[in-house]
Amino acid sequence: MSALAAAPVVLASASAVRAALLEQAGVSVRRDPAGIDEDEVKASFRGEGLDAASCATALAEAKAARVSQRHADALVIGADQMLVLGARWFDKPRDLADARAQLQALRDQRHELVTAAAVARNGAVIWRLVDRPALIMRGFSDAFLDAYLAAVGDEALGVVGAYRLEGLGVQLFARIEGDYFSILGLPLLPLLEFLRGHGVVGR
């Protein structure tokens, strides 16, 4: 442990980006993916006409609660993120053709990244938060789009919207509105404040 971190946490995710955000902030992290069927949960929420924020929150809570049952007394962080354009929810692209279609739909538009986080202990959720940063894509050319996809390759398939803002994807955007850490996948500042209150990081 560092002088800033007093106890480790468990991240109910395989996400290297979320783990890095916590570790770079001085929090010791162990990753333990939850294995939730996200497609099934999303289909259920869509079928019931519920909004993306409710779905993302439910997924974050389910991940945290499930994994916390495997780690007695540990604080377990679950997170989920959904890309929303109007009434449409985007999933990770199936292939590069789907990635191209997603980026064409997002081009010159404002979309939201609904980002939810939850913390559980011993199977019970004890904290939750949802943030809705927005991103405005610029009107890039088809030639630029093709060059971008050629440069990032299959990396585009690992993220909803086919971009990583911390990489070449930043060139797709005109501006962002809201918290940068939430865009990367974790509302880090309010989460750190919660962890301070539970002795994980120093005050």
Q: What is the pLDDT of residues 136-160, one digit of tens each?
A: 999 999 999 999 999 999 999 999 9
CA distance 122 to 25: 25
Structure tokens at 143: 């030639």
Is the pLDDT score of 3 beyond 50?
no
Is the pLDDT reported for residue 2 higher than 60? no
Q: What mean pLDDT comes out for the span 71-81?
A: 96
pLDDT at 114: 97
Q: What is the pLDDT of residues 18-71, one digit of tens each?
A: 999 999 999 999 999 998 888 899 999 988 999 999 999 999 999 999 999 999
Question: For 167-202, what is each residue's pLDDT tens digit?
Answer: 999 999 999 999 999 999 999 999 999 999 998 877
Nearest by Cα to 57 from 39, 81, 75: 81
pLDDT of residue 4: 59
pLDDT beyond 80 at 1: no
38-47 and 52-68 helices cross at what angle (nearest 10)? 140
Q: Residue 17 — very low, low, confident or very high, per pLDDT cuts 50/70/90?
A: very high
What pLDDT is stored for residue 140 in this prediction?
97
Mind giving me the DSSP string for 52-115?
HHHHHHHHHHHHHHHHHTTSTT--EEEEEEEEEETTEEE---SSHHHHHHHHHHHTT-EEEEEE
Which residue numbers are catalytic?
80
pLDDT of residue 5: 57
pTM given for the model: 0.91
